[in-house]
Structure 1
Amino acid sequence: MNRNTVVRGITAAAIAFGGLAVATSGVASAQTVAPCTGADLTVTASDGQQGQDPLHEQLVVEFKAKDGVHCQLKGLPGELTFYNEGKPVPVTPMVKPAEAAVIDVTGTDTATLIIDIPKTEGVLTLPTDEVSFKLPSANADVIRLPYTAGVADTPTISPVVGPVG
């Protein structure tokens, strides 16, 4: 056996092994769902379920995947901040103790984040015009939405739930 035959045999084995590695990693990555980014989602905020709890109002944030997107949200938003005329409003949110679930967002399904905002009688409500937070996923995209109801006391954040399709 000459040297060229040995080199060709090693090269063919390396290519075959490399091809197997690529095929294997392709299968593994096809099963992995990426964390949602701001570009993957349509995010809306609204008042929700007022009247069910006379001590709280709710800010309901819905996450819906854009056409053709399949991504994941998990847990709580980061750095929840309320604003008035572009300046942060001084409130520090509390976190409702609960186990964070991984939520697949795809198709017409939506994931929901609920922020309970206390109604406090006799306490001056701080006006707000926006709210922002980091997405509850493994990235740092910040979402900023209109919110004009105001805050008077410490809001409580729950983990993302869904899909509610």
Structure 2
Amino acid sequence: MNRNTVVRGITAAAVAFGGLAVATTGVANAGTPAPCTASELTATAGDGQQGQDPLFRQLVVEFKAKDGVHCQLKGLPGELTFYKDGKPIPVTPKVKDADRAQVIDVRGIDTATLIVDIPKDGAPVTPTDEVSFTLPSANADVIRLPYTAGVAETPTISPVIGPTG
């Protein structure tokens, strides 16, 4: 084997190793995604599965990451407020399953879901036209969405769940 062949072999190995090092570094630096912000998400609100419990209506909020976004949600929303004609309707929600909170990665076609159970019976239903809350993440961004089903008694919130894709 001549000297040129050995040098070329070492150079090729160094380039290959260097490429592997760059690829590995890229993966290592990717790290944990940051908590989601309101500007990174598309949030929609709707009615949930009405047949599950006849005593409750479900407000279901789905979070989908915007194109190219990868972020995380975890836990419960904060500052849940319902509105009618721009005026807040005071409620203090009950919390269910807070100890089951998990970190949910939101990206691509995956969505995270937040469910708020709202009692149907009991006190008279107060009409609503919007609902707002802070994101279930380390950010204090407020999400405000249309919601016209009304609220009667104290709603119950659970941690965000997902992903569903």
TM-score band, normalised by shorter chain: 0.7 to 0.9
> For the residues of structure 2 that align with 1:80 and 1:118, how far apart are their CA atoms?
15
CA distance in 2, matches of 1:124, 1:48: 21
TM-superposed deviation, 1:124: 1.4
Question: 1:26 and 1:164 mapped to 2: Cα distance?
Answer: 27
Q: Does 1:35 align with 2:35?
A: yes
- After the TM superposition, which parts of structure 1 deviate over 6 Å for at least 4 consecutive aligned residues? none
The code of the aligned residue for 2:50 comes to: Q
Q: Are residues 1:113 and 2:122 paired?
A: no
**CA-to-partner distance for each residue in 1:14-43, whole Å, 9 max, x for gaps?**
xxxxxxxxxxx9876521211100111000
Question: C-alpha separation between the residues in 2 aligned to 1:29 and 1:89?
Answer: 45
Q: Within 5 Å, give how 1:132-151 maps onto structure 2.
A: 132-151=132-151
Partner residue in 1 for 2:153: 153
Q: How far off is 1:90 after superposition?
A: 2.1
Q: How does 1:83-102 map to 2 (within 5 A)?
A: 83-98=83-98, 99-102=100-103
- Tell whether 2:28 aligns with 1:53: no
Helix, strand or coil: the match of 2:92? coil
What percentage of aligned pairs have identical amino acids?
78
How far does residue 97 in structure 1 lie from its aligned partner after superposition?
2.7
1:32-69 per-residue CA deviation (whole Å, 9 max, x = no partner) reads 21110011100000001012210000000000011100
State the one-letter code of the partner of 1:107.
G
1: CA distance between counterparts of 2:128 and 2:54?
A: 21
Secondary structure of residue in 1 paired with 2:151: coil
Distance 1:140 1:48 in 2: 25
Structure 1 residue 144: deviation in Å?
Answer: 0.0
Offset, 1:92: 1.2
How many positions carry a matched residue from both structures?
A: 140
The CA RMSD over aligned residues, in Å, is 1.5
Q: 5+ residue gaps in structure 1?
A: 1-24
| Letter aligned with residue 152 of structure 1 | A
Taking structure 1 as the reference length, the TM-score comes to 0.81
Instruction: Give 2:106's aligned amino acid.
Output: V
